[in-house]
Amino acid sequence: MRRTRLGAVLVGGLLLAAAGCGKTDEPSAGPGAAKELRLAVIPKATMHIFWRSIHAGARKAEREIPGVRVIWQGPAIEDDRGAQISLLETFVQKRVDGIVLAPLDDKALIAPVRAAQAAGIPVVIIDSDLADPQAYVSFVATDNREGGRMAARHLARLLGDKGNVILLRYLVGSASNENRERGFLEEMAGHPNIRILSSDQYGGPTVETAMTASEALLAKFGEGQVDGLFCPNEPLASGMLRALAAAGRAGRIKFVGFDASDRLMEAMKKGEIHALVVQNPVRMAYEGVKTVVDHLRGRTVPKRIDTGVVLVTPQNMTDPEIDHLVHPPLE
């Protein structure tokens, strides 16, 4: 089955990196090598499939890297900044050896991350950046701006480079989603015959809030007024999908989402979603844990690790490499 050259290269790179991550027979070296390391892994939330994949990657690292114990805890939903800050402060008080954090807010989490740093506890950031790069050891994530550009390029192709498009935003302060949204709009600015109907509406942290926002947009822009849609994460795409189905418009508007789930992949089979930009959350968490361990054991670590992004379409969705990404092993 045909795949784009870019998709093949990116997937190949992800598989090679994942293969390299599995090597655990190298002897440990440097300070702290003999000590069991207690590492807190704090996601943005625990309820969505993406964070379950992050959990699986952290547990994989715990199994494969000698002398590591992972403590997994996060807020229930992705808008509870207070809960995430409290968790971070608690782990600092408990004197864990290191922290892997997916910050809910790129500014609100700076002070508690700096407090961890001051206490001698290194922090590796995953998924979504902080506005202060000096506060952390390394940033392990998708190139989210490129993911947004990728979504825009493909949607433009689907539309024949003309039409009316809606971008449904996520939450203020979520750097990963804001970069996807920024990349999408930057790329669309180069397509003068595509008009952005709406780019200032926010869907919020759950499928239910996203559905409510999507219903309002679809009511505002009625039948025949919307040619394309972009939703920059899985709960937004799921909520929009429900709203489209309720309005009888599923499959009639070109729809590109971000991240995968069984429901979204089934919708792609039915022609209700036309593409998904997919990350590698298992690798992201694995590399996050591995990076903080390497730092603690005296190794030099890169400041930025790009874990890759791939465009999944009806044409390549059954390829084995793609299937591995969209159906990661979960604990």
pLDDT at 25: 36
Listed in order, strand segments (DSSP E) in the chain are: 37-42, 68-72, 98-101, 123-126, 138-141, 163-169, 194-202, 228-230, 254-258, 275-278, 304-306, 310-312
Question: What are the tokens at 329?
Answer: 């092993």
Report the chain's C-alpha Rg in angstroms. Answer: 20
Terminal C-alpha separation, the chain: 31
pLDDT given for residue 34 in this prediction = 56
User: One-letter amino acid identity for 45?
Assistant: A
How much is the pLDDT for 20?
39
- 259 Rama class: left (phi>0) / alpha (psi -120 to 50) / beta: left
Residue 77: closest CA among 59, 40, 51, 58: 51
**Residue 273 contacts residue 255 (beta carbons within 8 Å):** yes
What topology does CATH give the domain 144-278?
Rossmann fold (3.40.50)
Give the tokens for residue 155.
């949607």
CB count within 10 Å of CB 97 equals 19
CATH topology of 21-141+281-307 equal to that of 144-278?
Answer: yes
Query: Domain 21-141+281-307 in CATH: superfamily?
Result: Response regulator (3.40.50.2300)
- Predicted pLDDT at 309: 96
- Using CA of residue 260, residue 264, residue 269, residue 271, what is the dihedral sign? negative
pTM score of the predicted model: 0.85
pLDDT tens sequence for the chain (331 residues): 333 333 433 333 433 333 334 333 333 344 444 589 999 999 999 988 899 999 999 999 999 999 999 999 999 989 999 999 999 999 999 999 999 999 999 999 999 999 999 999 999 999 999 999 999 999 999 999 999 999 999 999 999 999 999 999 999 999 999 999 999 999 999 999 999 999 999 999 999 999 999 999 999 999 999 999 999 999 999 999 999 999 999 999 999 999 999 999 999 999 999 999 999 999 999 999 999 999 999 999 999 999 999 999 999 999 999 998 898 877 6
Q: What is the pLDDT of residue 330?
A: 78
Rounded to whole angstroms, how far apart are CA atoms 174 and 202? 12
Apex 184 CA angle, 178 and 189, nearest 5: 125
Coil vs helix vs strand at 231 = coil
Distance of CA 278 to the CA centre of its chain: 8
What is the residue extent of each domain of the chain? 21-141+281-307, 144-278
Burial 107-133 (b: 16+ CB within 10 A, else e): ebbbebbbbbbeeebbbbbbbbbbeee
